[in-house]
Structure 1
Amino acid sequence: MENARKTLVVGGNRYVGRRLIDRLLAAGDDVTVLNRGSSPPPPDVRHLVADRDDEEALTAALGDLSFDVVVDQVCYTPRQAATARRVLAGRTRRYVMTSTVEVYEYEDSIAPVRETDVDPLDVPVDLELPWQNPEFLDAHYGEGKRQAEAVFASDPALEWTAVRVAHVLGGADDFTGRLAHYADRIRTGDPIAVPPANRPATYIHVDEAAGFLFWAAGQTFTGPVNAASHQALTTEELCEAVGAHFPDGKTVFQEVEVGEVSPFSFRRCYPMDNSRAVRLGHTFGNARQWLGRAVAETLGKDG
């Protein structure tokens, strides 16, 4: 592996990250995984253990290592971004941050949103917010990712890109429980909470998301890029795919003016435009073509 590409994956030792690591290994990369040690990486992978929030420990764990590319699966806050920028500057040619469609959560657009609709250079950064508080971070997930992107954009010490990943579906190892939420209600006939004006959203299969990150790691473009399958899906389409596995079930939608709604129901319209990635040479699948397979995988059904 003397001439292999040296790749560091920060976090991401399950779901999308596990598939990404498998792709990197299959391509012959010399892979290093850095996480807190909660779960071991696959064989043939160098494993570094450190808390990424502890800059001194992170620096010590990396030692004198350098990399051709870093894929950061767990950068959630501007503080983490600032630490990563300081520690990794000079250690890597390219930095790929896994971001999210939720950076567009304040948008409400009939047209699919483009990367320029949320320009990191226009996003104010506040390092003093309680980013270390899990409840605060959970409630400000999209904001944390926006500000993390802004840190890299404001002082590009690294060749960086932020991959804004659509809502991920598929895989027997889907730990989110979001499709299970619909399955439970359809099986029992319990109501599914949706807003009166329920908007469509963009999705990506878990394998496609891993494939996109793998592809992005080998490119040279910079700045944000949207990663989403073609065609937006509605909650009704998702429920139809789930309901196909429960012929005795019943899908009942309950409109909710205020308050919490089901996981894939949206009051705002912000499906992502994936044309930048397409122009750069990536080929996406069609969400309606893989939806049935994704649901079957997650629910543990045949077909």
Structure 2
Amino acid sequence: MRKILILGGTRFFGKRLVERLLQDSVNDVTILTRGETSDTFGDHVHRIHADRFQANELAQAVGDTLWDVVFDNICYSPDEADQARRIFDGKTKRYILTSSLSVYDFSEEALTEDIFDPETYPIRHGGRNDFTYQEGKRLAEAVFMQQATFPVATVRFPIVLGIDDYTRRLHFHIEHVRNELPIGIPNPEAQISFIRSDEAADFLYWLGCSSTMAGPFNACSDGTVRIKDILTMIEEETEKLAIIQNQAADEHMSPFGIEHSWFMDTTKAQSAGYKFLNLNNWLPELVSSLNKTYEE
């Protein structure tokens, strides 16, 4: 059996990852949870209860178990990374850290993994409130890559979308167009990457369980989309015009409202054998599906 631990496996793509793992009978899956979010996995998974952000609780919950793979979807700071790399020292054969497109600055060119090198990035310590999201993720990667004694792969995801997106970022745009509310978008021409929640889970599974590769990997659907093209899709579905403004009140600023393009190159993962979905095939379908939920 392959013993797998998931930190952050009760919602969104973490939940999708559990579902994907359970499709393979060789996987013995354990979820670390505080017990605040219910799940539907029943006795198909094991559960250990602890707050991932409290080092003593995490260490006690993990105990002396040896894991084949640990998936960490909820690490946001160098201190959390440092706690984990100490706790799992000698207790895991492989560690998959969910990171982010946010480790990169904006660029009009496709971003490749070597643009940010966590193995040479100067480490500073602190909690998630001490850094921006971008800097927290950069430093978390740096701690694992420079100081972990076990193999680590980091997955740099863009914004993850799906019917099950609890952050409701695509929902925001559909609701605003349907309700004829203004949407603040600084640069409608900016290009952006996305990945679907089930695709994110499938990539994590592939990297953690079907490969032995370490280091950073970009993971996003093939292709890019301009922000204004997303709104065009929504306009076609709702039969209403989007009210686009460069500036708007905070509650009307788009979660996709980037000032410059921000998208990734996935040549590294594809060269290793992974095939991503085509963004322009699934994004219109997702917009249509979400819009129908409002009509129903």
Task: Give distance in 2, aligned partners of 1:281 and 1:92.
Answer: 25
Amino acid at match of 1:238: I
Which one of 270, 279, 284 corresponds to residue 278 of structure 1? Answer: 270
Which one of 107, 110, 113 corresponds to residue 112 of structure 1? Answer: 110
Query: Structure 1 residues 243, 12: CA separation in 2 closer, same or farther (over 3 Å shift)?
Result: farther
Structure 1: 5+ residue stretches without partners? none
Offset at residue 109 of structure 1 (A)? 2.4
Offset at residue 141 of structure 1 (A)? 1.3
* 1:49-68 residue CA offsets vs partner (Å, 9 max, x unmatched): 11122222211111221111
Offset at residue 181 of structure 1 (A)? 1.6
* 1:236-273 residue CA offsets vs partner (Å, 9 max, x unmatched): 121122223311x2212112399884111211322100
Which residue of 2 is the match for residue 45 of structure 1?
A: 45
Which residue of 1 is the match for residue 157 of structure 2?
A: 165
Relative to the length of structure 1, the TM-score reads 0.89
Query: Structure 1 residues 49, 278: CA separation in 2 closer, same or farther (over 3 Å shift)?
Result: same
Which one of 201, 206, 209 corresponds to residue 215 of structure 1? Answer: 206
- Native 8 Å contact 2:50 2:57 kept in 1: yes
Task: Give distance in 1, aligned partners of 2:30 and 2:51.
Answer: 15
Query: Structure 1 residues 80, 55: CA separation in 2 closer, same or farther (over 3 Å shift)?
Result: same
After TM superposition, the structure 1 = structure 2 runs for residues 63-82 of structure 1, keeping only pairs within 5 Å, are 63-82=63-82
Secondary structure in 2 matching 1:93:
coil
Query: Structure 1 residues 37, 258: CA separation in 2 closer, same or farther (over 3 Å shift)?
Result: closer
Structure 2: 5+ residue stretches without partners? none
Secondary structure in 2 matching 1:120:
coil
Task: Give distance in 2, aligned partners of 1:63 and 1:79.
Answer: 20
Which residue of 1 is the match for residue 100 of structure 2?
A: 100
Which one of 189, 193, 207 corresponds to residue 202 of structure 1? Answer: 193
Count residues in correspondence: 289
Task: Give distance in 2, aligned partners of 1:187 and 1:75.
Answer: 36
- Native 8 Å contact 1:203 1:287 kept in 2: yes
Query: Structure 1 residues 299, 142: CA separation in 2 closer, same or farther (over 3 Å shift)?
Result: farther
Sequence identity (%): 35
Query: Structure 1 residues 147, 300: CA separation in 2 closer, same or farther (over 3 Å shift)?
Result: farther
Detail structure 1 runs of 4+ shifted over 6 Å in the superposition. Answer: 257-260
Greater shift, 251-260 or 27-36, is seen at: 251-260
Amino acid at match of 1:191: P
- Native 8 Å contact 2:187 2:258 kept in 1: no
CA RMSD, aligned part only? Answer: 2.0
- Native 8 Å contact 2:188 2:228 kept in 1: no
Offset at residue 36 of structure 1 (A)? 1.4
Secondary structure in 2 matching 1:47:
strand
Which residue of 2 is the match for residue 237 of structure 1?
A: 229
Task: Give distance in 2, aligned partners of 1:300 and 1:75.
Answer: 35
Task: Give distance in 1, aligned partners of 2:103 and 2:291.
Answer: 29
Amino acid at match of 1:34: L
Which one of 18, 27, 40 corresponds to residue 21 of structure 1? Answer: 18
